């Protein structure tokens, strides 16, 4: 996303809100009318399942591994030979370096001139649309699979293996492709595209209000931008035939114990299915939401959470691993100190899920080092407890405070007037609130800081601040609100590029392809996803306080 195009448009301006439009000004499009697709032949469920195993897993009906041979006799087998490795689970294709892999679902393979869908196959080259071709038949599909010769008698890329499949196996693959991404996903209505955001019961009400207000404002702007105004400039992407759907946002407010969240989510989803979950907020756990989204095959895009589940899945995407990432960054930093390596590392944390998760992650990361790790757990709110946790420090020690601002504010009352040990603070948990640090401590306090610093940070967040100002929305938490802002811009660009191919799997796959290609308007230095990655930011700084009180980098960007 170009920084010059990141502010949401005023509905009175004659401009398109679609962020990718700037990249589409240099090409012409032939508009294609999309009509109802012809009904495909009915395939047996057995054929579809056999085809799925070949496509997704690389397993033949016999149970033997699928084998394919590329040019120069390079052979692939089993999962490496599965169609999904290149064509993806949606069948909508992918990018492999500079190789563009086009859709192979039944809608595209068997399309006729009267019934032709359209897909933008490369976000880097918006004029690269799917092209018309002679409809495939079972025979021509068999030829392309077995010989690598397409329906126009052209030889495919050397990357495409050739498979010696039997007629029965070809039939199974054909059955699977006909139904693959053949119907739009739940949450897609004739006139409305439904989204949800999720709020856990433990969050700061000001953060909750800021997130929801930003999202509702952006959704209203986006819906208004679809209206055709007299004299309105039409961007090339606007000329692509598609169904114009309004966006609708539903807020799923979770209540009570986390053990009940799964049931609450299921009830909300049953009342109103959504196409994807956008943003979301929790200060404790996100695991029930993570599990629900994976179970329902529901994209869950970039919630603001401090401790995402360690086990990754296909549908949930995150900004980073949160405090677990900070733990790994700090461990790498301490291991690289050489003569200045501390003898002992004291962890001070609250007895809650985030505190325990952070301390466990750092303990694991420090295994095998000579640094002794000791845990000091806070169970109550008495000042004497924090004072006891910080007792006995020496210049040979280091301290890690896994504490939020409410606890950090009490630290300078409980700790010595002069800190003898280097003390590290979690940037995620501190939320840019360092008022607790007195002048006498400045030289000894470091922050494990997962965001960008200085002028680069201000450049990244400038568009968000201007947008908030324009729409008279408060700046409550800069880093958090840039996450919400980025989500809204990214979703706009993402949905504009997938056109009418509203399939959840495709949404996630295109998010992987697009994330590294656009300008950054978040507080993070860099966001990127490769295939299978689910954490977009992968490092942090060790930061110190400059004489003016601002944080500056005390290390390079550390990627553990």
- Split at pLDDT 50, 70, 90, the class of 28 is very low
Residues 236 and 288 in one domain: yes
Residues 144 and 45 in one domain: yes
Residues 145 and 198 in one domain: no
Residues 420 and 546 in one domain: yes
Q: 76-89, pLDDT tens digit by residue?
A: 999 999 999 999 99
Instruction: Scan for tokens 């930003």, then name that residue.
Output: 214
- What mean pLDDT comes out for the span 377-395? 87
Residues 546 and 410 in one domain: yes
Residues 127 and 239 in one domain: no
Single out the residue of 444, 375, 398, 427 nearest to residue 558, CA to CA.
427
Cα–Cα dist 495/247, whole Å: 11
Q: Pick the range with the lowest mean pLDDT from 277-281, 338-342, 366-370, 540-544.
A: 338-342
Q: Is residue 23 part of a domain?
A: no
CB 244 within 8 A of CB 31: no
Q: 276-301, pLDDT tens digit by residue?
A: 999 999 999 999 999 999 999 999 99
Write the DSSP assignment of 284-329 as a string of letters: S--HHHHHHHHHTT--EE--EESS--SS--SSEEBS--THHHHHHH
Q: Is residue 517 part of a domain?
A: yes
Q: What pLDDT does residue 428 have?
A: 96
Q: What pLDDT does residue 100 have?
A: 84
Is the pLDDT at 325 greater than 50? The verdict is: yes
- Split at pLDDT 50, 70, 90, the class of 517 is confident
Q: 242-252, pLDDT tens digit by residue?
A: 788 999 999 99
Is the pLDDT at 41 greater than 80? The verdict is: no
Is the pLDDT at 516 greater than 80? The verdict is: no
Residues 435 and 462 in one domain: no
The tokens describing 146, both together, are 């077995």
| Domain of residue 386, CATH code | 3.40.50.2300
Instruction: Scan for tokens 């004659």, then name that residue.
Output: 14
Q: Is 227 exposed, middle or buried (0-12, 13-18, 19+ CB in 10 A)?
A: exposed
Which of the pair, 4 or 67, is modelled with greater confidence? 67
Residues 464 and 417 in one domain: no
How many C-beta atoms surround the C-beta of residue 460 within 10 A? 22
Longest dimension (CA), the chain: 82
Q: What pLDDT does residue 278 have?
A: 98
Q: Structure pTM?
A: 0.89
Residues 461 and 313 in one domain: yes
3-state SS assignment for residue 398: strand
Residues 6+ apart with CB under 8 A from 521: 1, 3, 6, 460, 461, 463, 464, 482, 485, 486, 489
User: Torsion angle of alpha carbons 394, 395, 396, 397, nearest 10°?
Assistant: 60
Is the pLDDT at 233 greater than 50? The verdict is: no
Residues 48 and 155 in one domain: yes
Q: What pLDDT does residue 4 have?
A: 37
Choosing from 159, 179, 199, the residue where a domain stops is: 179
Q: 91-123, pLDDT tens digit by residue?
A: 999 877 778 889 999 999 999 888 889 998 877
Alpha helices per DSSP H over 366-426: 383-389, 405-414
- Split at pLDDT 50, 70, 90, the class of 128 is confident
Residues 6+ apart with CB under 8 A from 256: 201
Cα–Cα dist 47/63, whole Å: 15
Share of the chain above pLDDT 90, in %: 71
- Split at pLDDT 50, 70, 90, the class of 518 is low
Q: Is residue 440 part of a domain?
A: yes
Q: Is residue 361 part of a domain?
A: yes
Q: Is residue 352 part of a domain?
A: yes
- Split at pLDDT 50, 70, 90, the class of 494 is very high
Which of the pair, 23 or 380, is modelled with greater confidence? 380
Q: What are phi and psi of 109, to 5 degrees?
A: -65, -40
Q: Is residue 18 part of a domain?
A: no
Q: What pLDDT does residue 126 have?
A: 64
Residues 154 and 298 in one domain: no
Q: Is residue 26 part of a domain?
A: no
Q: What pLDDT does residue 42 have?
A: 61
Is the pLDDT at 399 greater than 60? The verdict is: yes
Single out the residue of 301, 208, 193 nearest to residue 253, CA to CA.
208
What is the chain's mean pLDDT, rounded? Answer: 88
Q: What pLDDT does residue 343 have?
A: 94
Single out the residue of 505, 501, 512, 471 nearest to residue 193, CA to CA.
501
Q: 527-541, pLDDT tens digit by residue?
A: 999 888 999 999 999
- Split at pLDDT 50, 70, 90, the class of 32 is very low
Q: What pLDDT does residue 282 have?
A: 97
Question: Looking at the 3D structure of the chain, how many domains does it have?
Answer: 3
Single out the residue of 242, 32, 29 nearest to residue 127, CA to CA.
29
- Domain encompassing residue 444: 324-449+542-553
Q: What pLDDT does residue 85 have?
A: 93
Q: What pLDDT does residue 29 have?
A: 31
Looking at mean pLDDT, say which of 32-46, 199-213, 224-238, 512-526 comes out highest. Answer: 199-213
CB 130 within 8 A of CB 102: yes
Q: Is residue 549 part of a domain?
A: yes
Residues 88 and 154 in one domain: yes
Write the DSSP assignment of 431-485 as a string of letters: TT--TT--GGGGGGEEEEE-S--HHHHHHHHHHHHHHHHHTT---S-HHHHHHHH
């Amino acid at each position: 996303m170009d920084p010059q195009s990141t502010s949401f448009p005023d509905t009175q301006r004659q401009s398109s809100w679609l962020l990718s439009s700037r990249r589409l000004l240099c090409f012409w499009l032939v508009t294609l009318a999309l009509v109802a697709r012809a009904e495909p032949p009915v395939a047996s469920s057995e054929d579809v399942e056999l085809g799925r195993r070949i496509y997704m897993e690389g397993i033949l009906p016999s149970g033997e591994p699928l084998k394919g041979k590329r040019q120069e006799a390079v052979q692939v087998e089993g999962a490496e030979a599965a169609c999904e490795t290149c064509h993806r689970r949606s069948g909508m294709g992918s990018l492999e370096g500079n190789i563009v892999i086009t859709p192979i679902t039944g809608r595209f393979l068997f399309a006729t001139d009267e019934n032709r869908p359209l897909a933008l196959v490369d976000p880097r080259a918006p004029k690269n649309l799917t092209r018309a071709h002679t409809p495939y038949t079972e025979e021509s599909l068999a030829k392309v699979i077995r010989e690598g010769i397409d329906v126009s008698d052209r030889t495919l890329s050397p990357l495409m293996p050739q498979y010696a499949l039997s007629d029965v196996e070809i039939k199974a693959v054909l059955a699977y492709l006909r139904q693959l991404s053949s119907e739009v996903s739940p949450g897609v209505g004739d006139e409305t595209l439904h989204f949800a955001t999720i709020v856990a019961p433990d969050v700061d009400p000001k953060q909750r209000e800021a997130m929801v207000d930003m999202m509702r404002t952006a959704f209203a702007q986006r819906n208004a931008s679809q209206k055709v105004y007299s004299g309105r400039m039409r961007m090339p992407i606007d000329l692509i035939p598609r169904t114009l759907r309004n966006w609708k946002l539903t807020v799923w407010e979770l209540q009570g114990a986390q053990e009940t969240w799964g049931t609450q989510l299921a009830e909300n989803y049953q009342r109103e299915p959504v196409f994807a979950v956008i943003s979301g907020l929790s200060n404790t756990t996100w695991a029930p939401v993570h599990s629900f989204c994976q179970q329902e095959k529901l994209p869950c895009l970039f919630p603001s959470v401090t401790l995402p589940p360690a086990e990754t899945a296909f549908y949930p995407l995150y900004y980073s691993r949160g405090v677990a990432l900070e733990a790994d960054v700090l461990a790498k930093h301490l291991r690289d100190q050489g003569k200045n390596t501390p003898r002992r590392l004291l962890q001070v944390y609250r007895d809650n899920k985030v505190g325990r998760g952070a301390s466990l992650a750092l303990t694991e990361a420090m295994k095998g080092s000579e640094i002794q790790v000791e845990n000091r757990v806070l169970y109550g709110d008495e000042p004497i407890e924090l004072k006891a946790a910080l007792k006995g420090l020496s210049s040979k020690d280091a301290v890690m405070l896994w504490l939020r601002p409410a606890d950090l504010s009490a630290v300078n009352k409980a700790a010595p007037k002069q800190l003898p040990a280097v003390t590290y603070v979690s940037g995620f948990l501190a939320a840019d609130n360092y008022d607790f640090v007195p002048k006498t401590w400045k030289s000894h306090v470091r922050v494990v800081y997962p965001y960008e610093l200085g002028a680069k940070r201000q450049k990244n967040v400038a568009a968000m601040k201007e947008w908030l100002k324009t729409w008279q929305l408060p700046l409550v938490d800069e880093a958090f609100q840039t996450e919400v802002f980025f989500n809204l811009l990214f979703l706009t660009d993402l949905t504009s590029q997938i056109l009418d191919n509203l399939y959840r799997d495709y949404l996630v796959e295109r998010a992987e392809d697009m994330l590294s290609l656009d300008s950054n308007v978040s507080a993070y230095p860099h966001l990127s996803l490769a295939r299978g990655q689910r954490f977009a930011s992968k490092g942090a700084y060790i930061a110190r306080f400059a004489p003016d009180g601002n944080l500056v980098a005390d290390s390079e960007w550390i990627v553990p």
